[in-house]
Structure 1
Amino acid sequence: MKSLVLETKEVLSLRDFPEISRVEESLGPRDVRIKLHTVGICGSDVHYYTHGRIGPFVVKDPMILGHEASGTVIEVGTQVTQLKIGDRVCMEPGIPDPNSRAARLGMYNIDPAVRFWATPPVHGILRPTCVHPADYTYRLPDNVSFAEAAMVEPLAVGVHAATKARVKPGDVAVVLGAGPIGLVTALSALAAGCARVYVSDLAPGKLEIAAALHPGIVPVDARAHSLTGVVKAETDGWGADIVFEATGSPQAARTVFEPLAPGGCVVMIGGQPDPIQYDAGAAMIREARVENIFRYAHVFPRCVGMISSGAIDVKPLITRSFDFDESVRAFEIAASAPPQDVKMQIVLPQ
């Protein structure tokens, strides 16, 4: 059972992983066994590869990567009624303790005991099969491809961010960062009702992709233009109702209040490994509301529904795919951060 294994920092191998094979033999009554089809390469996967850690999560032992996935159900537990063998599915990668206080309050994504794929010490799913709870496995409509389904996980971050922002019809938003999360956030904000979304980045290639996604997206090259100047000029000096920070850059995070309108909302999406500067005065004079998000909750079915209906089109974000036997090379390329790429995916043998 070959898997893509992060042996240690900057060392990947495609090899048999007998430890996970033994675990996968166990199928609980509320579980399904899934044959993996498509797995997206996430920035967190790449960061574990290049740095060996993300904040307090440290890779101490060999770990299988991958958490953005789709596949086909090949076995069901005795108590599973909503899924059957042959169903095409996508899977929510975080498994909380259903009895935890956070889960009982509906905030299962911030359950301290959540087990999230490819977050040490939990293995990911760049492997042929996995066992997963049926309650976090979602059937795909016929018109949603495996590649689109593997985009549901990153899209869920954007939908959760737009939900936390409390978007109102006609709002003007700013997204800092035109990477995968920034672009799905822009699409989510538009689907939620924003009239315009200004997307700022340093990479012209990514901005070209952003501009082609939706007529409501306004790309801003941060190398050549002042984002705040552009937004203020086009809002009669008022500013944006919402600013989404999706870069994870301390430099970008320092500027989040500059283009924000009075009474506006800032949503912090990008992970910050260290404390950042925060302009409390700029927030105060605007009476700014600041929201923080950690992954997502209760949005996977919404994402599947929006992709199926055409409300959100994620296909243009998938810029490159690799066969499973090219997985190591795929990560090497992803780590080089090609400016023309947004989302790379790996397709497993069927």
Structure 2
Amino acid sequence: MKSLVLEKQDELSLRDFPIERQEETLGPRDVRIKLHTVGICGSDVHYYTHGRIGPFVVNEPMILGHEASGTVIETGAEVASLKVGDRVCMEPGIPDPNSRATRLGMYNVDPAVRFWATPPVHGILRPTCVHPEAFTFKLPDSVSFAEAAMVEPLAVGVHAATKAMIKPGDIAVVMGAGPIGLVTALSALAGGCARVYVTDLAEKKLQIAESLSPAITGVDAAKESIVEKIKADTDGWGCDVVFEATGSPKAAAQVFEPLAPGGCVVMIGGQPDPISYDAGAAMIREARVENIFRYAHVFPRCVAMLASGAIDVKPLITRTFSFDESVRAFEIAASAPPADVKMQIELPQ
């Protein structure tokens, strides 16, 4: 089937690509989905520009894409919760149901998880895919395909906010105003934060951040110290939570500086190399440090919040391309336009 294929580092093509029969076989608890909208994720772009993320290396052609929505076009014999015609979004990681991690409820850290567009597993920038019913979620009529394709990145933010154990009235700092930083800011507010400060170097992204809620304050890290800003606004006490969503070693080294005693740091941004932070600064605050890897058990919560209006991701979708423009879309995404947050690709219907 025609797919967006990463042939190797810096080389993309839109071509007919053979899908293994095993992957296309519909099991009794699977559904076949016609893809509608697929988001371009930073990891997709990183595989395109670097050919690898940590231990995951693109050694042979791979289909990209893992943030998706679509329509069920066929169901397995034992599928009970979905039917043909249902609009859905899909959680892209399929764990081993018998693994110890999965049995403990931590299926996202199962070493055997098969995650779309993570070598050697293909992604879903293609017309159809087969997916387990258990990781496919029906959409309410009020949630569009474009919003549904945002559930995957939103799940990262909701998982991070859950790990932070936010209390009503908390003050949070989100380092980074990219897609993950902004969905984390929205998730922190939905979790009960009274105010969220978002730092970045891109003025346009900070403007987008502030447009999301009057409770979000953008801070240009090149012009203003987030530490001084937080101290001034909290009578010198500090913020309750810091979310690191840049993946920058420089930012990661500063995570404790604006944090109040007893506060929490949540590490979200993927670090390509080992980093160091000030353990002494963490110690004197008795800070709690949480690390997240993707998400677990939050897709239904995300869909429910989009349906109710508790979270609005529409302002984050800044550009949409047709499937035939996929290669160009990735070239633009790789250039990191400062005015863009989330780019999406719509497949033919």
Q: Same fold (TM over 0.5)?
A: yes
Q: In the TM superposition, what is the alpha-carbon distance from 1:25 to its structure 2 partner?
A: 3.6
Q: In the TM superposition, what is the alpha-carbon distance from 1:273 to its structure 2 partner?
A: 1.2
Contact 2:24–2:129 (Cα < 8 Å) also in 1: no
In 2, Cα distance between equivalents of 1:21 and 1:345: 26
How does the TM-score come out when normalised to structure 1? 0.99
Quote the residue 1:324 is aligned against: 323
Quote the residue 2:150 is aligned against: 151
Quote the residue 1:43 is aligned against: 42
How does the TM-score come out when normalised to structure 2? 0.99
Quote the residue 1:188 is aligned against: 187
Q: Is 1:285 paired with 2:284?
A: yes
Show CA shifts across 1:239-298 (max 9, x none).
000000000000100000000000000000000011111100000000000000000000
Number of corresponding residues: 349
Show CA shifts across 1:48-104 (max 9, x none).
000000000000000000000000000000000000000000000000001111001
Q: How does 1:295-306 map to 2 (within 5 A)?
A: 295-306=294-305
Report the identity percentage: 83
Quote the residue 1:201 is aligned against: 200
| Secondary structure of 1:312's aligned partner | coil
Which consecutive unaligned segments of at least 5 residues does structure 1 have? none
In 2, Cα distance between equivalents of 1:29 and 1:72: 18
In 1, Cα distance between equivalents of 2:231 and 2:104: 40
Show CA shifts across 1:169-223 (max 9, x none).
0000000000000000000000000000000000000000000001110100111
Quote the residue 1:55 is aligned against: 54
| Secondary structure of 2:70's aligned partner | strand
Quote the residue 1:10 is aligned against: 10
Quote the residue 1:212 is aligned against: 211
In 1, Cα distance between equivalents of 2:27 and 2:243: 40
Q: Is 1:222 paired with 2:221?
A: yes
| Secondary structure of 1:81's aligned partner | coil
In 2, Cα distance between equivalents of 1:232 and 1:155: 29
- For 2:274, the aligned partner's letter is P
In 1, Cα distance between equivalents of 2:24 and 2:333: 32
In 2, Cα distance between equivalents of 1:231 and 1:177: 16
Q: In the TM superposition, what is the alpha-carbon distance from 1:136 to its structure 2 partner?
A: 0.1
Contact 2:187–2:311 (Cα < 8 Å) also in 1: yes
Q: In the TM superposition, what is the alpha-carbon distance from 1:340 to its structure 2 partner?
A: 0.2
In 2, Cα distance between equivalents of 1:81 and 1:98: 19
In 2, Cα distance between equivalents of 1:305 and 1:81: 20
Show CA shifts across 1:127-164 (max 9, x none).
00000000000000000000000000000000000000
Which consecutive unaligned segments of at least 5 residues does structure 2 have? none
- For 1:307, the aligned partner's letter is L
Q: Which 4+ residue blocks in structure 1 deviate beyond 4 angstroms?
A: none
| Secondary structure of 1:273's aligned partner | coil
- For 2:129, the aligned partner's letter is C
Quote the residue 1:117 is aligned against: 116
- For 1:154, the aligned partner's letter is P
| Secondary structure of 2:82's aligned partner | coil
What is the root-mean-square deviation in Å for CA atoms of aligned residues?
0.6
Q: In the TM superposition, what is the alpha-carbon distance from 1:21 to its structure 2 partner?
A: 5.8
In 1, Cα distance between equivalents of 2:175 and 2:169: 19
Q: In the TM superposition, what is the alpha-carbon distance from 1:37 to its structure 2 partner?
A: 0.1
In 2, Cα distance between equivalents of 1:305 and 1:125: 24
Contact 2:52–2:58 (Cα < 8 Å) also in 1: yes
In 2, Cα distance between equivalents of 1:7 and 1:80: 35
Going from structure 1 to structure 2, the CA distance change for 1:207 and 1:299 (only over 3 Å counts) comes to: same
Moved more, 170-179 or 24-33: 24-33
In 2, Cα distance between equivalents of 1:207 and 1:21: 44
In 1, Cα distance between equivalents of 2:214 and 2:296: 29
Quote the residue 2:338 is aligned against: 339
In 1, Cα distance between equivalents of 2:202 and 2:315: 17
In 1, Cα distance between equivalents of 2:152 and 2:23: 22
| Secondary structure of 2:159's aligned partner | helix
Q: In the TM superposition, what is the alpha-carbon distance from 1:23 to its structure 2 partner?
A: 4.0
